[in-house]
A = this chain, B = another copy of it.
Amino acid sequence: MRAGPSQEDIRRHNLGALLRHVHLGGPISRAELTTRMGLNRSTIMALTSDLTAAGLVREELPRETGRAGRPSLVVRPESSRVYVFAFDVGPDRLAAARVGLGGAILDRREAARQRGPFQLEELAGALAGFARQMRRKTRDDTVCVGAAAAVSGGVRKSDGVIRFGPNLRADEVPFGEELGRRLGLGLPVTVGNDANLAALAEHSRGVGLGVRDLIYLHGDVGIGGGIIAGGHLLGGHDGYGGEVGHMVVNPGGRACGCGSSGCLEAEVGERALLEAAGRLGRHGAAQHGRDAVRAVVDAADRGDIVAQEALGRVGDWLGLGVANLVNIFNPEMVIFGGMLREVYLGSAAQVRSRLALHAMAPQREKLRLRTSALADDATLVGAAELAFAHVLADPLEALARVSG
């Protein structure tokens, strides 16, 4: 059970809470912080001056003030000075970003990835190269406080090993360790599942802002999920929580890369859609990936019957899967991201009709269905949040570690 907090615990808690306000909400006046945090002015002043001394925030006079009297100083994150590296490894792309405190993407690099076996050294080398390129362009007074990566696969939370990633063809890959070594910054690289991190991103900065119970569904080659329950990311015992793509929706259905059959991923993933639309292995245009999925939705919009039926079939299974999750979680919002954004927009009628059929009325009466606000940045933004987590938990200790 939890020990009672000491004075030092409380100070650390308050420093983290104040920095979180500034990091997630942007510039804010001391007066507003006093109100929001329920602390008195002198405590807020002491906390901001600690964070200022550590170089995490700065205080400025507000641009204009409508009121008489001395204006309250505005506290801003040191966005251009304090940053993290965020990485994303998907089936079709590698991406890296330098993300400032406050959440802005300051710089980014991206490359297409050929689908094929997971080449650990090549891949970590490429991402570390991106980081070096971006680092060379920073000023001398900048400081990298963390690094994290989103990967399309199941990641053991204790050590960042990719335990399974059929769509990356990764299996028992010590990715975090290798990337950390290649980065050479003396920083550990935390690794998370891409859909989990995208869920966190939509919850912190996207369409799910302030929504305490949401389900984010991510489509790539496969289907991943990230679940926020009661305001917290559902991680499960070892970090593999949220693998909704391997919920069986159609027993005896299509074979799945995981070895089972009839999984949501097998019925709704890219391959199922393209095959139903008669576009698998078709020559010319995109043969797979996001463009190929978009082409099916566009064709359906233009009246192509085969494309319409393919989307309808996929939408039915997607709707059934969403209905199951709505019954289990009673979420306030379901968010469709990655290629599921296109699929949902092209099959919303089927999804809604399945929901009406299979989700219980009380669970769906306040439900909102939405598409991702952060789109393809969601995974990078989520990885950045993961990289900043230890700074928000203990700001001064985190800064002392990287500056010392």
User: With an 8 A cutoff between CB atoms, is A138 at the interface?
Assistant: no
Given A164-B361, A249-B248, A362-B163, A330 and B236 touching (CB < 8 A)?
yes
B330–A328 CB distance below 8 A: no
B1–A20 CB distance below 8 A: yes
User: With an 8 A cutoff between CB atoms, is A62 at the interface?
Assistant: no
B330–A241 CB distance below 8 A: yes
A362–B248 CB distance below 8 A: no
Contacts of A330 in B (CB 8 A): 235-241, 243
Contacts of A230 in B (CB 8 A): 232, 234-235
Give min CB distance, A217 to chain B, whole Å.
12
Contacts of A232 in B (CB 8 A): 229-230, 232
B156–A247 CB distance below 8 A: no
Kindly identify, within residues 169 to 227 of chain A, every residue whose CB is under 8 Å from any CB belonging to chain B. 212-213, 225, 227
The stretch that binds B, out of A31-39, A50-58, A298-306, is: A31-39
Q: A248 vs B29: C-alpha distance in the bound complex, in angstroms?
A: 51
Q: A62 vs B230: C-alpha distance in the bound complex, in angstroms?
A: 42
B234–A360 CB distance below 8 A: no
User: With an 8 A cutoff between CB atoms, is A100 at the interface?
Assistant: no
A250–B251 CB distance below 8 A: yes
Q: A238 vs B250: C-alpha distance in the bound complex, in angstroms?
A: 29
- A269-297 vs B: 1/0 string, CB under 8 Å? 00000000000000000000000000000
User: With an 8 A cutoff between CB atoms, is A313 at the interface?
Assistant: no
A38–B362 CB distance below 8 A: no
Give min CB distance, A229 to chain B, whole Å.
5
| Number of chain A residues close to chain B: CB under 8 A | 66
A331–B236 CB distance below 8 A: yes
A247–B328 CB distance below 8 A: yes
User: With an 8 A cutoff between CB atoms, is A5 at the interface?
Assistant: yes
Q: A39 vs B1: C-alpha distance in the bound complex, in angstroms?
A: 12
Given A328-B244, A330-B241, A362-B164, A260 and B1 touching (CB < 8 A)?
no
Contacts of A3 in B (CB 8 A): 36-39
Q: A331 vs B236: C-alpha distance in the bound complex, in angstroms?
A: 6
Candidates B213, B320, B362; contact of A251 at CB < 8 Å: B320
The stretch that binds B, out of A10-18, A70-78, A125-133, A396-404, is: A10-18
Give min CB distance, A71 to chain B, whole Å.
23
Contacts of A324 in B (CB 8 A): 247-248, 324
A242–B362 CB distance below 8 A: no
A248–B39 CB distance below 8 A: no
B39–A4 CB distance below 8 A: yes
Given A2-B17, A10-B4, A238-B366, A360 and B154 touching (CB < 8 A)?
yes
Contacts of A98 in B (CB 8 A): none
Candidates B238, B247, B327; contact of A327 at CB < 8 Å: B247
For residue A256, which residue of chain B has the nearest CB?
B358
User: With an 8 A cutoff between CB atoms, is A86 at the interface?
Assistant: no
Give min CB distance, A282 to chain B, whole Å.
29
Kindly identify, within residues 311 to 327 of chain A, every residue whose CB is under 8 Å from any CB belonging to chain B. 320, 323-325, 327
User: With an 8 A cutoff between CB atoms, is A357 at the interface?
Assistant: yes
Given A237-B366, A240-B362, A360-B154, A37 and B328 touching (CB < 8 A)?
no
B238–A328 CB distance below 8 A: no
Candidates B21, B240, B332, B359; contact of A363 at CB < 8 Å: B240
Residues of A within 8 A of B (CB): 1-6, 10, 13-14, 17, 20-21, 36-39, 43, 154, 156, 163-164, 212-213, 225, 227, 229-230, 232, 234-244, 246-251, 258-260, 320, 323-325, 327-332, 357-363, 366
18 cross-chain CB contacts under 8 A: A1-B20, A1-B21, A1-B36, A3-B36, A4-B17, A4-B37, A5-B10, A229-B232, A230-B235, A236-B331, A236-B363, A238-B362, A240-B360, A241-B328, A241-B329, A243-B363, A249-B251, A260-B323
